[in-house]
A and B are shown apart, each in its own frame.
Chain A
Amino acid sequence: MGDMNTIGVSVKRKEDYRFLTGAGTYTDDVTLPHQSYACFVRSPHAHAKVKAINKDKALKAPGVVAIFTGEDLAAAKVGGLPCGWLITDVNAQPMKEPAHPCLAQGKVCHVGDQVAVVIAETYDQAKDAAELVEVDYEVLPAVVDVVSALKKGAPLIHDAAPGNTCYVWAIGDKGVVDKAMAAAAHVTKLEFVNNRLIPNAIEPRAVNASYTRHDESYTLYVANQNPHVERLLMTAFVLGLPEQKVRVIAPDVGGGFGSKIFLYAEDVVLTWASKRVNRPIKWTAERSESFVSDAHGRDHVTVAELALDRDGKFLAMRVHTTAAMGAYLSTFAPAVPTILYATLLAGQYTTPAIYAEVMAVFTNTAPVDAYRGAGRPEATYVVERLVETAAREMKLDPAEIRRRNFIKTFPYQTPVALQYDIGDYEATLAEALKMADVAGFPARRAEAAKRGKKRGLGYSCYIEACGIAPSAVAGALGARAGLFEAAEIRVHPTGKVTVFTGSHSHGQGHETTFAQVVASRLGIPVDDVDVVHGDTGRVLFGMGTYGSRSLAVGGTAIVKALDKVVNKGKKIAAHLLEASDTDIEFKDGVFKVAGTDKAVPFGSVALTAYVPHNYPHDKLEPGLNEQAFYDPANFTFPAGSHICEVEIDPDTGITKIVNFTAVDDFGNIVNPMIVEGQVHGGLTQGIGQALTEGCVYDKESGQLVTGSYFDYCMPRADDVPSYKVGTKVTACTHNPLGVKGCGEAGAIGSPPALINAITDALGIREIEMPATPERVWRAANKKA
């Protein structure tokens, strides 16, 4: 057998040919016999009572098949959308969990809230008829930002949530932190907003639901990151359908970034309605609908303090964050500003005492939930802005202050619940300093100054908790689901392999990376391995893709199933070679009796398993097909150092990123090309947050001002640079691949690096994200 080990090799992606030739199949590409189309009537108001809905005119419009409202859902006892995470507040009370109806039940709570669905023969007909649905609204005062929502006399969004408060939650020892703060030689305090973002996967959300009357079954094509979770939530908690009667297929999905994790109202309404009309119904969001109805990300207001001793050693951190939930609780929303945020406030540092208090608040906006990084970008922003500002205030080199505080021994128990297994923070920082040529920065700054430009350098040393999560830990923290992953390895009689994984790929390249893992372990060519995902009808189970967990959790499930395949293979080989099982070793695709040249290749063992003529039937079943479930032992902790160099034109306020260096420790790397691609994309989304993107709701009307690509500034090719990326490896200690996850790192580390660079260039303390040319120009010219 040749060297089939491709771990660490940039194998070109198996999925690319279909995407490059237009042969990908996304949900909107699926059109079924007797297809009908849906258009949702959405609230034009941020907050209103729905007094009456008249659908008479619309029902008479050409091509209309049916129109349903909240009344129909209520009559059919269709429940609201469930929330998958329960946060318990500081008084040991459950969070406030107002109903989240799939179609309005007498009230709408944000612009874009679903009021009715119109189903017609064509999409244009559905859209035309939707215009004719008459909704009588009584407009109520709205509140779109967390600060206003908490004010006395603010409009109350849900009776079930007095004061618009979902929960007040805290972590850490307040007494110890307060005392350390009071006694510290220096305290750095910052107040900032972590700007609300709109995920904007380029494929809009889409659903195609159908019902088969003869066996009472449903099939749902949906642009979704975790089809089994979608099915579980929908069948068990909303529609009360038998799970085995619902097949959820998430075919090719055009990006997710978190926004396609969640169970959305449209998915439920179409599934339910497909039985009522007994036809397939398709809905694809127009981009304007995506803007108002996809779950948004971030939206925190924070006050943070860092206490230091005279030498710049961190003593304590105190953080107060107010986090928007939006109008309703999306699937995992409550976990984002708590479990995924405050537990990361130690960063890479030995800060001994940390206290964080989080208030989650309802606003008349689209729901907020996990978006690339989910809580960890917000935590990193707090820590790394504080650290850099403290360094400047104490006249310490920003790299030096970090070195003085880095965690150096592992495992390390932070004061905010997590236990880091391994890392080498000095190594990633040292490599980043070198790659970014920090030593040459003063000369570059002086040269830029001669041209009237302002150069700045900013650092960010982030950590994230990925591979979510040990189910028992997550359960204790409020998760209403397990967080394992499942895999099946089907070895065919010819020795070719199909892998079934619960991890869904929507750009991450699982079909290639997972095939590399399997091929390398079995000693067969990558081309002999195909990966199947995204279909509850084919894959045994799965918790899906989010939180950079696919390889660490999904990949480990695959490895565990492979171990079973190899173990059974050893028994078959032992029989064929007339040896004891325990004497068989498996290497490079060959089963061999240890210390002899007696061997049988993997392919022959596979064939024997399916043509069991000479076979130990008394001890072994035929076939070679194994499954495994893997529940992680701990989170994984990818970490890295990002250094950003900017040049600002003070006359225009335009910030040019002249150098962006990212050195990350993702543990072992299977496919470097794919990992680098993940970093590039993450960095660009983080740069988007820092420089161009910001969701704006009008404070009076509650209208979404940034409701299209004209107004919401997505980073384009000419807004971002080419990147310098590098890696350092400390292998994860608790999964067999030694991997940590790489999907979110770029979006987590980059915003503070960029804002630190801009504030350095301008010699200012703070600038709000996104640092648009207008904001930068104002800052540059106020100073001057």
Chain B
Amino acid sequence: MKISMTVNGKPVSAEVETRTLLVTFIRENLRLTGTHVGCDTSQCGACTIHMNGQAVKSCNLLAMQAEGADILTIEGLAKADGTLHPMQEAFREHHGLQCGFCTPGMVMSAVDLVKNHPNPSEETIRAELDGNLCRCTGYHNIVKAVQAASAKM
């Protein structure tokens, strides 16, 4: 079936199978490989993107469920001139990433978190990021990064 949506500000459309997951569409059809797949049970959050301004796990949606939606992936977060979003900058500044695999999903979740909780406490950050697994950082510096970014967003 044919689907159409806006991804990172650009209209896209493609022919996909009905079973095609949104994350597969983003990675394989659009070749936006910054969105990652870390599990098959919607537990790890590596595939987190924004759909109509809300963080969602793109492995947990069919591509056709995003028909007409406004999608933002990690590739669309920084400014066109390459300037990082304050959340990306804070992750860099506070060493909130190591291998980088969970990072796109973590950053997209964190941006949404701060939108919903403008001045989050450590407890709020930890509770809200509980849908994103990171095996490298132990979360310590991710929490610091989100706190720092929230002051600038």
Contacts and interface: CB of A to CB of B under 8 A. Distances in A.
Contacts of A254: 36, 38, 99-102
A718 B84 contact: no
B122 A709 contact: no
Nearest to A684: B138
B46 interface: yes
A613 interface: no
Given A202-B101, A717-B130, A709 B75 contact: no
Contacts of A768: none
Contacts of A34: none
Most chain B C-beta atoms within 10 Å of own C-beta, residue among A20, A124, A508, A509: A20
A12 interface: yes
Given A20-B92, A21-B34, A255 B136 contact: yes
B56 interface: no
Contacts of B7: none
A22 B130 CA distance: 22
Interface in B52-79: 73-75, 77-78
Contacts of A17: 84, 92
B140 A680 contact: yes
Contact of A723 (B44, B107, B140): B140
Contacts of B139: 680, 684, 716-717, 720
A598 B31 CA distance: 56
B95 A718 contact: no
B84 A709 contact: no
Contacts of A46: none
B150 interface: no
Contacts, number: 184
A252 B27 CA distance: 17
A720 B138 contact: yes
A21 B74 contact: yes
Interface string B19-35: 10000000110011111
Contacts of B78: 20-21
A203 B74 contact: no
Interface residues of A, number: 59
Interface stretch (A24-32, A169-177, A210-218, A599-607): A24-32
A200 B103 CA distance: 16
A21 B88 contact: yes
A708 interface: yes
B135 A255 contact: yes
B77 to A, nearest CB: 7
Interface in A1-32: 10, 12-13, 15-26, 28-29, 31
Interface in A668-714: 673-674, 676-677, 680-685, 708-710, 714
B91 A20 contact: yes
Contacts of B136: 202, 255, 507, 677, 681
A676 B33 CA distance: 29
Given A506-B99, A718-B130, A26 B36 contact: yes
B141 to A, nearest CB: 6
B135 A21 contact: no
A685 B135 contact: yes
B99 A255 contact: yes
Contacts of A20: 74, 78, 84, 88, 91-92, 97, 100, 103-104, 107
B133 interface: yes
A708 B17 contact: no
Contacts of B135: 200-202, 255, 257, 681, 685, 714
Given A13-B92, A202-B38, A124 B17 contact: yes
Contact of B43 (A12, A16, A710, A720): A710
Given A19-B103, A204-B38, A709-B41, A680 B92 contact: no
B56 to A, nearest CB: 17
B129 to A, nearest CB: 4
Given A12-B92, A506-B99, A681-B98, A709 B33 contact: no
A722 interface: yes
A13 B95 CA distance: 8
B146 to A, nearest CB: 10
A717 B41 contact: no
Given A21-B75, A684-B139, A717 B107 contact: no
Contacts of B102: 202, 254
Nearest to B98: A507
Contacts of B27: 29
Interface in B111-151: 122-123, 125-127, 129-130, 132-143
Given A12-B93, A286-B40, A507-B98, A21 B138 contact: no
Given A12-B92, A684-B139, A708 B100 contact: no
Contacts of B107: 20
Nearest to B127: A718
A294 B37 CA distance: 17
B153 interface: no
A634 B130 CA distance: 42
Interface string A604-615: 000000000000
A314 B25 CA distance: 63
Contacts of A680: 137-141
A29 B33 contact: yes
B143 A202 contact: no
B14 interface: no
Contacts of A19: 97, 99-100, 103-104
A677 B77 contact: no
B99 A203 contact: yes
A201 B130 CA distance: 17
Given A21-B75, A287-B44, A680-B138, A717 B33 contact: no
Given A203-B36, A722-B143, A717 B100 contact: no
B136 to A, nearest CB: 5
Contacts of B99: 19, 201-203, 252-255, 506-507
Contacts of A781: none
Contacts of A684: 137-140
Nearest to A253: B99
A202 B95 contact: no
Contacts of A288: 40-41
Given A254-B100, A717-B129, A717-B139, A287 B91 contact: no
Interface in A110-131: 124
B38 A287 contact: yes
Nearest to A284: B37
A716 B95 contact: no
Contacts of B101: 24, 26, 201-203, 254-255
B74 A708 contact: no
Given A21-B75, A680-B137, A709 B43 contact: yes
B12 interface: no
A28 B126 contact: no
11 contacts: A15-B100, A17-B84, A29-B33, A202-B44, A252-B99, A677-B141, A682-B138, A685-B135, A708-B39, A710-B43, A716-B130
Given A26-B36, A254-B101, 15 more contacts: A12-B95, A16-B92, A16-B97, A20-B78, A20-B91, A203-B101, A204-B38, A252-B99, A254-B99, A254-B100, A288-B40, A677-B95, A715-B138, A717-B129, A720-B138
Interface of A: 10, 12-13, 15-26, 28-29, 31, 124, 200-204, 252-255, 257, 284, 286-288, 506-509, 673-674, 676-677, 680-685, 708-710, 714-718, 720, 722-723, 746
Q: Top 4 A-B pairs ranked by shortest CB distance?
A: A22-B34, A19-B100, A254-B101, A507-B99
